[in-house]
């Protein structure tokens, strides 16, 4: 990809994507350069209709999560934690023109929903990564916050993913492209995971661990549940599978981490996945937590990520 920096103030190039001291978000598509306009259809944004560098150029932290309401709540929480002026209540959904995804910007933090499952995450990420590229963002950290089913860990535990694995416990994401299967690595940034873990240790009563996260294409049979509309295996087979997952290092199961890890890695984004567990899948399949406990658990990744961002911004004395 040709550089989007004006030739006159282009810093010295040290490799394909890093200009001395700065790491830019990059895209790997030779056709993009030749396009007169890029319409980010599902985000309701575009290079001709919006001044993307002015709107997003200062973004340093991108936080993504499945639910639009949760990502709005996170944006409001960040507004308060960063002590930005105003109540934040009038915060605007930048993607209000579409009901596919929502997006809020709070200082250097972008909060975006990605829906459920790999295809929904993948569409959002293609457009988000192009957005960050068009906006000339640099040194961006991206974190997925979410919910998950734990394996052998107490409900309410926060799992920071070291590696996302597929249903065969392999660190790979297989994407069908034309009629080929393309396999991509799902390694995440180990230093970022450690930094988040260290941050978690400063929060009282905050059970956190680092482990593998298994990403599946389905919530029910795909996660070995016995309570879907279909179930084609025995209780014994389910327990045997989940125990093998545990032995392979898997501590939680969700539905987006492999494509998230693979795409962010290829595009030079430092990425992390932080998910709270809602149940122990070795014990049960149904999520039957009282509403207030469910709400509190869902806030745990938000609290950790907010403290991490404040620490990175040198606002540690304001840690919640």
Residue showing the smallest CB distance to ligand URA in the complex: 149
Q: What minimum distance in Å lies between the beta carbon of 101 and ligand URA? A: 19
| Interactions with ligand URA, residue window 256-285 (CB under 6 A) | 278
Q: Please name the residues in contact with 41: beta carbons below 8 A apart, sequence gap of 6 or more.
A: 98, 127
Residues that bind ligand R2B (CB under 6 A): 66, 116, 146-148, 219, 254-256
Is 57 annotated to bind ligand?
A: no
Interaction partner, residue 256 (ligand R2B, ligand URA, none; CB < 5-8 Å by kind): ligand R2B
| Interactions with ligand URA, residue window 12-71 (CB under 6 A) | none
Q: What minimum distance in Å lies between the beta carbon of 121 and ligand R2B? A: 8
N- to C-terminal Cα distance for the chain?
42
Cα–Cα distances in Å, from 139 out to 20, 22, 26, 126, 170? 12, 6, 11, 18, 29
Is 145 annotated to bind ligand?
A: yes
Among 197, 219, 220, 241, binds ligand URA (CB under 6 A): 219
Q: What minimum distance in Å lies between the beta carbon of 265 and ligand R2B? A: 19
Interaction partner, residue 162 (ligand R2B, ligand URA, none; CB < 5-8 Å by kind): none
Q: Which is nearer to ligand URA, 103 or 159 (CB)?
A: 159
Q: Which is nearer to ligand URA, 109 or 253 (CB)?
A: 253
Distance CA 229, CA 155 (A): 25
- Binding flag, residue 147, ligand URA (CB under 6 A): yes
Q: What minimum distance in Å lies between the beta carbon of 23 and ligand URA? A: 31
Q: What minimum distance in Å lies between the beta carbon of 67 and ligand URA? A: 11
Quick check: 157 and 299 in contact, CB under 8 A? no
- Binding flag, residue 149, ligand URA (CB under 6 A): yes
Is 70 annotated to bind ligand?
A: no
Per the annotation, where are the binding residues for phosphate?
Answer: 100, 144-147
Per the annotation, where are the binding residues for substrate?
Answer: 223, 225
């Amino acid at each position: 990809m040709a550089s989007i920096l004006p030739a006159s103030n282009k810093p010295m190039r040290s490799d394909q994507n890093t200009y001395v001291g700065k790491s830019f978000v990059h895209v790997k598509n030779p056709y993009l350069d030749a396009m007169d306009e890029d319409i980010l259809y599902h985000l309701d944004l575009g290079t001709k209709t919006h001044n993307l560098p002015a709107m997003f150029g200062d973004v340093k932290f991108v936080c993504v999560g499945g639910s639009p309401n949760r990502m709005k709540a996170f944006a409001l929480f960040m507004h308060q934690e960063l002590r930005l002026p105003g109540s934040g209540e009038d915060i605007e959904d930048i993607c209000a023109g579409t009901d596919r995804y929502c997006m809020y910007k709070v200082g250097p933090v972008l909060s975006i929903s990605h829906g459920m499952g790999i295809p929904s995450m993948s569409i959002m990420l293609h457009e988000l990564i192009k957005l960050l590229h068009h906006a000339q963002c640099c040194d961006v950290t991206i974190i997925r916050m979410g919910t998950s089913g734990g394996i052998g860990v107490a409900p309410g535990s926060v799992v920071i993913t070291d590696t996302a694995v597929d249903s065969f416990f392999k660190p790979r994401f297989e994407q069908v492209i034309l009629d080929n299967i393309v396999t991509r690595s799902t390694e995440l940034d180990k230093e970022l995971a450690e930094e988040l873990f260290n941050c978690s240790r400063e929060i009282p009563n905050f059970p956190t661990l680092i482990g593998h996260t298994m990403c599946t294409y389905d919530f029910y049979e795909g996660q070995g549940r016995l309570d879907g509309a279909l179930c084609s295996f025995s209780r014994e087979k389910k327990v045997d599978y989940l125990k093998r997952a545990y032995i392979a290092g898997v501590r939680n199961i969700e539905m987006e981490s492999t494509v998230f890890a693979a795409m962010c890695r290829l595009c030079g984004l430092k990425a992390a996945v932080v998910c709270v567990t809602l149940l122990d899948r070795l014990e049960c399949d149904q999520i039957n937590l009282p509403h207030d406990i469910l709400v509190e658990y869902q806030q745990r990744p938000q609290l950790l990520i907010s403290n991490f961002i404040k620490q990175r911004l040198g606002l540690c004395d304001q840690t919640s």
